[in-house]
């Protein structure tokens, strides 16, 4: 069987221990065991099938999502899965839904911004799913500009309550995931008003729906904001609209770790930076970087396996055409994405450590690394999601026409993934935050602080900052060039963390060698892509640029025999890949043909509508022809 033999032959060429590379990719033997076991549990459960998603109506799709979520929760309880195993199960179910926001934002917000008492009250309810929460920050009129939010939370000293209100149409909460049809509660971000004075944006826990009949509570208008890009997944998520008409909540439902409002209506600032109100966004952004490596590796796995199975032109002496993976143009498009997937994996590991370190420091009232954590999570979220969104589209193109079929898995993966460039912070807005951080850092460099990083990459950042740095007053004056410097800074971090990864103990025959090749491919690919920066800032000479290019091409040849094994190391099930082109067995053509007939359009040989619309035309043509 052509495809199967091709992939079997490719696997026999591997020059490294794939099982050990699986451990490196997973992060540890324990994590590999958990993800392997849970991914197969999901793959073997018919309730979690994904192949009909793009054929269902929005209502049927959403109802099936609720069915899957209920089944997932049931399995978590039945099997007594740990929090880690439950998170893996939600990941491999691979269907954006309210659960992501309940576990991924609502609960972390209460943990990060609630007092001890508030955590003791609300977390048990949330962990047991007695309430379902979402994160309601963005409004119809404001998303990036958090300080521009209009929802009000006015303290009423008469009743010891906050009055939550949507004063304008643009203050309607708009986009929060899980809000439209499912969540019973939300953390709502609104302007704290005490005695007519505006104290800025804070978080408030608000019940939205009755726990008895799920109807919206008095003063609450709530619904879904409508269909989103593409069909299938992400339309499985009920992103919602929410308006308040003077809804009253008890004072103790304002999240009060950062600021407290006393019974007398006095605002008391605690000793933590007010920016902790933004803490959930830092947490999710570091998560999104790891998610980027998953999404990109998934697309690269599909495109790499298909590129080894697909043959086109180049008839060889044995009468067989050439594998498209052997074309240098295919390699120059595909292998940098393979390298990027590994690079984002490792920078995501580091970012997770940085986030945990910041949190531990916060416990000890050490806020010194919070600005760097914000800049790194913002910048790396921006860099990795933009590269991944572009990378998934490139993988679609690498698969030719078949990449455009839903059965390839790539269109739906692209449609689900691309909002990552917007949610949790628009990517340009976040790069401007990095630019601000760099300006402050450069201004402090005079104090003898020396930047650290790889020379050429570090030089590029320094030079770009020198060229474009000016005394900036605020966002509007930040030049587009500074965004360029911010990207350069983030790419420096990615390369540096890949190099640091290689300095760790890396067991397994040939594993370190493959990772060194991928690290060099990533670094040289970025250098090639931004050659203008490196040349214009004098970081490298034209001769060096030419040598770097030659080295990059030679590295592609080095990776070529290992490409299939490098994507096998992601250890993805066919269920998770959900792609005829990316099947482990390479049995592409028979399965493509089989999938076609499953389309409802093929339920009848003569299509519905023929008699009403087509036959009259044809008959008319026949009559005309006889005249
Ligand atoms: C486990 C699973 C997880 C679940 C989800 C997983 C994946 C995602 C899946 C699907 C999507 C799901 C949900 C999506 C949710 C959302 O989208 S939630 C809404 C997200 N919204 C944003 O990100 C808004 C973006 N805007 C901002 O962050 C701020 O408005 C901005 C930083 C742009 C501007 O802040 P602002 O206060 O208006 O002005 P400044 O720039 O002057 O900042 C003031 C100072 O505060 C510092 N700072 C800003 N942000 C942070 C932060 N997050 N943390 C720490 N510090 C911050 C900034 O550096 C300034 O400090 P200095 O004055 O310079 O010292
Ligand atoms: C799928 C999805 C899920 C989401 N889930 C949630 C959720 O669960 N909870 C929640 O609260 N929100 C959620 N959001 C909202 C999301 O956080 C916002 O869309 C995001 O923060 C961007 O804000 P915005 O849409 O207002 O865009 P805007 O800020 O209006 O940006 C529009 C354009 O203007 C540019 N721009 C804006 N400000 C500047 C500036 N200062 N300088 C230069 N350019 C600028 C941007 O770069 C962008 O190109 C979700 C969004 C999506 C798409």
User: In whole angstroms, what is the distance from residue 307 CA to residue 321 CA?
Assistant: 13
Question: Which ligand 1 atom is nearest residue 283's CA?
Answer: 3
Look at ligand 1, atom 53, and give the residue with the nearest C-alpha.
278
Question: Which ligand 2 atom is nearest residue 142's CA?
Answer: 26
Q: Which residues of 335-370 are buried (b: 16+ CB within 10 A; e: fewer)?
A: bbbbbbbbbbbbbbbbbeebbeebbeebeeeebeeb
Look at residue 471 in the predicted model and tell me its pLDDT.
44
Look at residue 481 in the predicted model and tell me its pLDDT.
79
In sequence order, the β-bridge partners of residue 222 are 242
Look at residue 432 in the predicted model and tell me its pLDDT.
94
Interval between CA 218 and ligand 2 midpoint (Å): 29
CB 353 within 8 A of CB 412: no
Interval between CA 138 and ligand 2 midpoint (Å): 8
Percent of residues, the chain, with pLDDT higher than 90:
83
Interval between CA 422 and ligand 2 midpoint (Å): 5
Q: Which residue has the tokens 């209009």?
A: 150
How are beta strands 133-136 and 185-194 bridged, if at all?
parallel
Q: Which residues contact 239 (CB under 8 A, 6 or more apart)?
A: 175, 176, 177, 179, 180, 224, 225, 228
Look at residue 468 in the predicted model and tell me its pLDDT.
61
pLDDT band at 448, cuts 50/70/90? low
pLDDT at 43 over 60: yes
Q: Which residue has the tokens 């320094």?
A: 462
CB 244 within 8 A of CB 66: no
Q: Which residues contact 328 (CB under 8 A, 6 or more apart)?
A: 553, 556
User: In whole angstroms, what is the distance from residue 622 CA to residue 564 CA?
Assistant: 56
> Which is more confident, 446 or 318?
318
3-class DSSP assignment, residue 167: coil
CB 179 within 8 A of CB 238: yes
Q: Which residue has the tokens 């994405």?
A: 337
Among 391, 287, 306, 275, smallest CA distance to 348 is for: 287
Mean pLDDT of all residues in the chain?
A: 93
What ligand has the least distance to the C-alpha of 479?
2
Helix (H) or strand (E) holding 174: strand 173-174
Look at residue 473 in the predicted model and tell me its pLDDT.
47
Name the residue of 141, 281, 352, 430 to mutate for ligand 1: max ligand atoms within 8 A of Cβ.
Answer: 281
Interval between CA 284 and ligand 1 midpoint (Å): 10
Distance (Å) of CA 359 to CA 272, 368, 401: 12, 11, 47
User: In whole angstroms, what is the distance from residue 464 CA to residue 536 CA?
Assistant: 9
Interval between CA 281 and ligand 1 midpoint (Å): 5
Interval between CA 384 and ligand 2 midpoint (Å): 17
Look at ligand 2, atom 41, and give the residue with the nearest C-alpha.
475
CB 122 within 8 A of CB 217: no
pLDDT at 452 over 60: no
User: In whole angstroms, what is the distance from residue 21 CA to residue 509 CA?
Assistant: 10
**Ligand 1 contacts CB of residue 425 (under 6 A):** yes
In sequence order, the β-bridge partners of residue 259 are 269
Q: Which two tokens stand for residue 596?
A: 């076609």
Distance (Å) of CA 236 to CA 95, 182, 556: 7, 12, 39
Residues classed as catalytic:
424
In angstroms and rounded to an integer, the radius of gyration of the C-alpha atoms of the chain is 27
List pLDDT tens digits, range 598-608.
999 999 999 99
Look at residue 294 in the predicted model and tell me its pLDDT.
98
pLDDT at 383 over 70: yes
**Ligand 1 contacts CB of residue 418 (under 6 A):** no
CB 255 within 8 A of CB 249: no
Please state whether 196 falls in left (phi above 0), alpha (psi between -120 and 50) or beta.
left
Q: Which two tokens stand for residue 365?
A: 């009232």
CB 349 within 8 A of CB 340: no
Name the residue of 141, 423, 481 to mutate for ligand 2: max ligand atoms within 8 A of Cβ.
Answer: 423
User: In whole angstroms, what is the distance from residue 189 CA to residue 254 CA?
Assistant: 10
Interval between CA 257 and ligand 2 midpoint (Å): 26
**Ligand 1 contacts CB of residue 433 (under 6 A):** yes
Name the residue of 171, 278, 429, 479 to mutate for ligand 2: max ligand atoms within 8 A of Cβ.
Answer: 429
Ligand 2 lining (C-beta closer than 6 Å): 101, 135-138, 143-144, 175-177, 239, 419, 422-423, 425-426, 428-429, 432, 475
CB 104 within 8 A of CB 284: yes
Question: Which ligand 2 atom is nearest residue 234's CA?
Answer: 1
Q: Span 495-515, mean pLDDT?
A: 97
Look at residue 469 in the predicted model and tell me its pLDDT.
56
- Give phi and psi for 242, each to the nearest 5: -150, 130
What ligand has the least distance to the C-alpha of 378?
1
List pLDDT tens digits, range 195-225.
999 999 999 999 999 999 999 999 999 999 9
User: In whole angstroms, what is the distance from residue 372 CA to residue 268 CA?
Assistant: 27
Model-level ipTM above the cut of 0.95: yes
pLDDT at 475 over 60: no
Look at residue 478 in the predicted model and tell me its pLDDT.
61
DSSP for 280-297, written as a single string: HHHHHHHHHHHHHHHHHH
Domains of the chain, each with CATH number or no CATH: 1-31+279-619 (1.20.140.10), 107-270 (2.40.110.10)
Name the residue of 101, 143, 484 to mutate for ligand 2: max ligand atoms within 8 A of Cβ.
Answer: 143
CB 322 within 8 A of CB 508: no
CB 457 within 8 A of CB 492: yes
Question: Which ligand 2 atom is nearest residue 136's CA?
Answer: 11
Distance (Å) of CA 358 to CA 112, 276, 363, 374: 12, 11, 9, 10
What ligand has the least distance to the C-alpha of 179?
2
Compute the CA torsion angle 201, 202, 203, 208 (nearest 10 deg): -60
507 CB neighbour count, 10 Å cutoff? 10
542 CB neighbour count, 10 Å cutoff? 9
Look at residue 474 in the predicted model and tell me its pLDDT.
47
DSSP for 374-386, written as a single string: HHHHHHHHHHHHH
Q: Which two tokens stand for residue 520?
A: 């060099």
Q: Span 478-502, mean pLDDT?
A: 92
Among 533, 473, 550, 568, smallest CA distance to 22 is for: 568
Among 522, 512, 551, smallest CA distance to 15 is for: 512
Interval between CA 405 and ligand 2 midpoint (Å): 30
Q: Span 305-325, mean pLDDT?
A: 92
List pLDDT tens digits, range 47-74.
999 988 888 999 999 999 999 999 999 9
Q: Which two tokens stand for residue 184?
A: 């019973």
**Ligand 1 contacts CB of residue 460 (under 6 A):** no
Percent of residues, the chain, with pLDDT higher than 70:
96
**What secondary structure letter does DSSP report for 215?**
P
Residue 57 burial (C-beta neighbours within 10 Å; 0-12, 13-18, 19+): exposed
**What secondary structure letter does DSSP report for 222?**
E
CB 149 within 8 A of CB 190: yes
Q: How many residues does the chain have?
A: 627
């Amino acid at each position: 069987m052509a495809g199967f033999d091709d992939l079997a032959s490719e696997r026999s060429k591997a020059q490294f221990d794939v099982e050990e590379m699986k451990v490196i990719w997973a992060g540890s033997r324990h994590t590999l065991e958990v993800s392997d076991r849970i991914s197969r549990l999901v793959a073997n459960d018919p309730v979690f099938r994904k192949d009909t998603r793009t054929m269902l109506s929005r209502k049927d799709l959403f109802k099936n999502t609720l069915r899957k979520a209920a089944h997932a929760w049931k399995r978590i309880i039945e099997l007594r899965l740990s929090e880690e195993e439950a998170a893996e199960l939600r990941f491999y179910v691979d269907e954006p839904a309210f659960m992501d926001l309940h576990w991924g934002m609502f609960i972390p917000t209460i943990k990060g911004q609630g007092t001890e008492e508030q955590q003791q009250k609300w977390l048990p309810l949330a962990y047991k799913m007695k309430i379902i929460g979402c994160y309601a920050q963005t409004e119809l009129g404001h998303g990036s500009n958090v300080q521009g939010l209009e929802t009000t939370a006015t303290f009423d000293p008469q009743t010891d309550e906050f009055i939550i209100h949507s004063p304008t149409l643009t203050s309607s909460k708009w986009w929060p995931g899980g809000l439209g049809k499912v969540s019973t509660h939300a953390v709502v971000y609104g302007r704290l008003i005490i005695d007519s004075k505006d104290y800025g944006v804070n978080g408030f826990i608000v019940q939205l729906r009755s726990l008895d009949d799920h109807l919206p509570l008095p003063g609450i208008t709530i619904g879904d904001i409508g269909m989103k890009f593409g069909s299938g997944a992400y339309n499985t998520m009920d992103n919602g609209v929410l308006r308040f008409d003077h809804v009253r909540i008890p004072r103790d439902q304002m999240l009060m770790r950062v600021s407290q409002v006393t019974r007398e209506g006095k605002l008391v600032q605690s000793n933590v930076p007010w920016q902790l109100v933004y803490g959930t966004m830092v947490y999710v952004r570091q998560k999104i970087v790891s998610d980027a490596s998953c999404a990109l590796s998934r697309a690269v796995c599909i495109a790499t396996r298909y590129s080894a199975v697909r043959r086109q032109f180049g008839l060889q002496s044995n009468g067989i055409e050439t594998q498209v993976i052997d074309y240098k143009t295919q390699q120059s498009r595909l292998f940098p994405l393979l390298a990027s997937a590994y690079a984002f994996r490792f920078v995501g590991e580091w970012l997770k450590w940085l986030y945990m370190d910041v949190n531990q420091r916060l416990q000890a009232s050490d806020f010194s690394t919070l600005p760097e954590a914000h800049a790194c999570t913002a910048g790396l979220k921006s860099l990795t999601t933009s590269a991944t969104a572009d990378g998934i589209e490139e993988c679609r193109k690498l698969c030719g026409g078949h990449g455009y079929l839903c059965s390839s898995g790539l269109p739906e993966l692209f449609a689900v993934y691309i909002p990552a460039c917007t949610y949790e912070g628009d990517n340009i807005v976040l790069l401007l935050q990095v630019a601000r951080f760099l300006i402050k850092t450069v201004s402090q460099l005079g104090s003898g602080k020396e930047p650290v990083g790889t020379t050429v990459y570090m030089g590029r950042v320094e030079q770009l900052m020198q060229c474009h740095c000016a005394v900036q007053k605020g966002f509007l004056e930040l030049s587009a060039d500074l965004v360029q410097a911010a990207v350069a800074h983030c790419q420096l971090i990615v390369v540096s963390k890949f190099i640091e990864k290689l300095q760790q103990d890396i067991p397994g025959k040939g594993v370190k060698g493959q990772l060194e090749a991928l690290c060099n491919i990533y670094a040289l690919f970025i250098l090639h892509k931004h050659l203008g920066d490196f040349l214009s800032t004098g970081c490298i000479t034209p001769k060096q640029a030419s040598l770097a290019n030659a080295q990059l091409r030679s590295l592609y040849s080095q990776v070529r025999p290992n490409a299939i094994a490098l994507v096998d190391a992601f250890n993805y099930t066919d269920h998770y890949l959900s792609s005829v082109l990316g099947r482990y067995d390479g049995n592409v053509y028979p399965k493509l043909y089989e999938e076609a007939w499953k389309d409802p359009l093929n339920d009848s040989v003569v299509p519905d509508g023929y008699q009403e619309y087509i036959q009259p035309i044809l008959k008319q043509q026949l009559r005309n022809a006889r005249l």
